[in-house]
A and B are shown apart, each in its own frame.
Chain A
């Protein structure tokens, strides 16, 4: 064996991993070759140096750190929630989306509510006026008093015409226009204003949201009714009474009854009992219309008895508060 072959096997020789015959050859060579035995010595020393290398100790925090990460891995459900809420790369777009969504919804809601918001901004000066209007008739109009909350509701639903208007201005204009037999359509809402003050619940749309409809009603029922309305507003506009006196009164009531024919008969007999004159009955398929002239003092009793027949809707001002004989128009419609 040459030195080179011996050197190749020295590593295995050192560990006793060479074949027995090779072992013998190497032993013989080492005994005679100083260079190879030095190489063996150095190799052995190298092994010793490596063996004597100091072992490093793990830092005390290492196990805790490993286990903390492992536990984080072991809880996938919590991990998912954390992913949803904590990492910025998901959270930021989520927040941005939420902000935009809130902004869009806010604008949409505002636009949808805006008209109603205007309605709610009924000028506060109006409230004392209502109080004044109701004050003179406490004894005469108990029904009107009980319906006060409903009236308020009606007023709130008729915003367009009252918005931003001081009542004093409205009165002034009403006074100015009162002598005219047929007020111009544009005035109707203003007149309506004073009417709603005493008027029991009536369809809000007819009451004022659509002034043109109000105009039609006004013209259909004649200027006389307009005068009557003005008269009712007398506490705040005394001069209106003078203008209203010249015209006859027509009060419209609507009674809801199950059997309109029978109710019609009962109304007729009721009118007779109360000494009404010029009783007229017009039967139609969908309603019964009865007109009659009733004395002012009987009016309250009439309304109360009508209430026993069914739900009474007073289209105009409460008839119970009238001071003189009036033509009343009772429309009987089927109850809903």
Chain B
């Protein structure tokens, strides 16, 4: 769980400084370099937050455009990437609310039977044979896991996505979400616990 954190800690803190400065001077190519650098991570954060690939693509585009518009307001107090992720998280939250409002998407509940592409998931008792996880195709596992993530509250989902999926450090998460360390830790504990219970339901034995 901590591999990505280590990777991240090795990244220099101000490696985007030059590109951001160029952007402020109106060099569009510099911004293009930043888009190139962060689009995948941004998309993955948005996808795990929103739960829909196309919607996530929209969110990422809006987030980059929003960042470009307000790049002069970026003071460099935090890292550029932190600032960028806070934008995409905010937009993801808003997008999710919109989706909920228009009822276009069923939200997974930890207690309700999980939904899959093939319909409601049967809640069979654990099989004594090989683990269901091993039998299932990876794609399907991913879909069920995403279903459980979607079922989490927004604030729990955020910390889970940032910490356990994207591997951000506690410090970075604190900066992105602008909440104290303790809050991050307690949210993360609840998020993992809730997800564990959900996964046990949808995947059988862990």
Q: List the interface of chain A (C-beta within 8 A of B).
A: 7-8, 11-12, 14-17, 41-59, 62-63, 65-67, 69-71, 73-74
Contacts and interface: CB of A to CB of B under 8 A. Distances in A.
Nearest to A11: B189
A70 B142 contact: no
Contacts of A70: 28, 31-32, 64-65, 68
B200 A42 contact: yes
A63 B40 contact: no
Contacts, number: 108
A43 B164 CA distance: 12
Interface stretch (B95-103, B106-114, B172-180, B191-199): B191-199
A62 B43 CA distance: 10
Most buried by B among A8, A45, A50, A71: A50
Given A11-B189, A65-B61, A69-B61, A45 B31 contact: no
Given A50-B145, A51-B1, A62-B39, A67 B189 contact: no
Nearest to B41: A55
Nearest to B160: A50
A63 B39 contact: yes
Given A49-B199, A62-B61, A67-B35, A57 B40 contact: yes
Contact of A8 (B26, B43, B189): B189
A99 to B, nearest CB: 37
B73 interface: no
Contacts of B36: 63
Contacts of A66: 35, 39, 60-61, 64-65
Contact of A55 (B40, B64, B146): B40
Interface residues of B, number: 46
B43 A12 contact: no
B132 interface: no
The SS class assigned to the B binding surface is helix
B75 interface: no
Contacts of B203: 49
Contact of B44 (A48, A55, A59): A55
Nearest to A12: B185
Given A46-B196, A50-B160, A67-B32, A73 B68 contact: yes
Contacts of B206: 41-42, 45-46, 49
Contacts of A56: 43-44, 47, 53, 56
A73 B26 CA distance: 11
Given A43-B193, A46-B195, A63-B36, 20 more contacts: A11-B188, A11-B192, A17-B185, A43-B192, A44-B1, A45-B206, A46-B206, A50-B145, A50-B165, A56-B44, A57-B40, A58-B43, A62-B61, A66-B39, A66-B61, A67-B31, A69-B61, A70-B28, A70-B32, A70-B68
A15 B145 CA distance: 21
A41 B131 CA distance: 15
A62 B164 contact: no
B57 interface: yes
Contacts of B39: 58, 62-63, 66
Nearest to B144: A49
Most buried by B among A7, A44, A55, A73: A55
Contacts of B133: 49
B183 interface: no
Nearest to A45: B206
B141 interface: yes
A65 B196 CA distance: 38
